[in-house]
Amino acid sequence: MQEIATGRIIIVGAGLGALYAALCLAPRPVLLISPDALGSGASSAWAQGGVAAAMAQADSPEDHALDTIAAGAGTVEARVAATVTEEARAHILALTDYGTAFDRSPDGGYVMSREAAHSFARVVRVQGDQAGAEIMRALIERVRNTPSIQVLEGVLARGLDCDGTKVTGVEIELARSEGSAPAMLRGAGVLLAGGGSGGLYALTTNPARIRGQVIGMAARAGALIADAEFVQFHPTAIDCGEDPAPLATEALRGAGAHLINREGARFMEAVHPLAELAPRDVVARAIFAQTQAGLRPMLDTRTALGVAVLTDYPAVAAACARNGIDPVTQPIPVAAAAHYHMGGVATDAHGRSSLAGLWVCGEASSTGLHGANRLASNGLLEALVFARRAAQDMLEECRAGDSDAVTLPDLPSGETPDEALVTQLRQTMTSHVGVLRDAEGLQRALATIAQIETAQPDCAQLQNMTATATLIAAAALARRESRGAHCRTDYPDTLPEAARSFLTLAEATALRSNPEELPA
């Protein structure tokens, strides 16, 4: 394998966390690896709601933290919630300075949306549902104009080189249809900021490449994984047959849109006091139940928004138009889809993983902020906070090196995942590790994942996917209760003692082989 040495800090990913960290590291030389053109393959660009922050005079970081803890169903780290919400305002101001055109009122204040389980309207937005795209636009422009940042587009990270305790390099390949042989990048330090795991499911709102590969490569190197079982399903993906499914932002429900079924009946009022604005796990299960009963759940924006939905929520309007839906006169069919992974690589308050030389931020990490159920629009906030913290820590911990640009050698073709195996994996996860779970289904999923893994053992990309899938299913099997986004039909009660889960890939694989050895 060809080796390429650089003095730059290596950042894997090209979403909000990766770009923000690169800017926070400037002028320290950085090499940012992206499989796609900047802005085209990251979940951040698809984020519709915005960034949660206590910007209004009546609101406070303390109230934001309390809402975060309440939504997290007992497993949020209170200190993490307190410090993250306290920093939120500063990051909104920083993004504004970078050129993000947040919605502003005539007096210059920030226009705020209210989303599920928030006690205040505290989601800073852009044009209704364009926050992610606009923040990414501003950051990409700034990154392109920062000399210390080199961007390698069309390059995919596939593994980490680890001497047992310290990460010493990133194994990469070219992101092309025929794949490529690997090369090894060795730099001053590694930050993983490459997204979550939603694409491991057949029904998802995540971009096509977001299939748990980053968590998987860290796990395969030996990193500790936390809260893997907690996968958030967005209640209102537009049920139109697209893969990935377009998102009908939660802000629509914050603006008064109602959930109805094909009979025209509202069903959330009987489920939760907050009705459509109940925590996401509650709404997702209600949507799923309506789907399973053949009652075709739908989001009705007609009375609350009328024709304004077309201009105030352009991404939703465009998705509806592509699929022959007129939201002004018709309710929008919706389904619960894998949306956000609360679990990931376990990190400390500085974004450090359990392996020396490896930092993680964004959805690939598990910081203790989200608990069992992420509070709406806290995802982008967490990425911002921990991107900057990781950058500051890396500036102190990583040796300074040269700033010479990295040039990749010509790499021959390589092995890519068998699409039939990927499809089988995604269907297995949706069928058995989805909104509702039980021991029989989880054990069946683990057995199928093992078969998929052995079918193409030398394909690093597939091995990363199956590693993360194994961790999710094994952690779900081990958690014999229902909590937050994790719902076991065979263990419907929530245990009085709440605890986060921590698991290595070796432990998850052992559990896959011997599920009867579960602790009592």
Catalytic residue annotation = 280
Provide the b/e sequence for 299-327 (b: ≥16 CB within 10 Å): bbbbebbeeebbebbebbbebbeeeebeb
DSSP 8-state assignment for residue 66: H
- What is each CA distance from 434 to 85, 198, 229, 431, 476, in whole angstroms? 30, 11, 10, 6, 10
Q: Are 320 and 332 in contact (CB under 8 A)?
A: yes
DSSP 8-state assignment for residue 349: T
CA pseudo-torsion sign 444, 450, 451, 456: positive
Nearest Cα neighbor of 251 from 204, 308, 297 is 308
- How far, in Å, CA of 450 to CA of 474, rounded? 12
Nearest Cα neighbor of 193 from 391, 3, 377 is 391
Q: Are 36 and 57 in contact (CB under 8 A)?
A: no
Main-chain dihedrals φ then ψ at residue 499, nearest 5 degrees: -150, 145
Within 13 Å of residue 271, how many CA atoms lie on the same side as its CB? 21
| Cβ-based neighbour number of residue 164 at 10 Å | 7
Q: What's the Rg (C-alpha) of the chain?
A: 22
Please enumerate in sequence order all residues whose Cβ is within 8 A of that of 166, keeping only pairs 6 or more positions apart, or say none: 355, 356, 357
- How far, in Å, CA of 508 to CA of 475, rounded? 7
DSSP 8-state assignment for residue 367: -
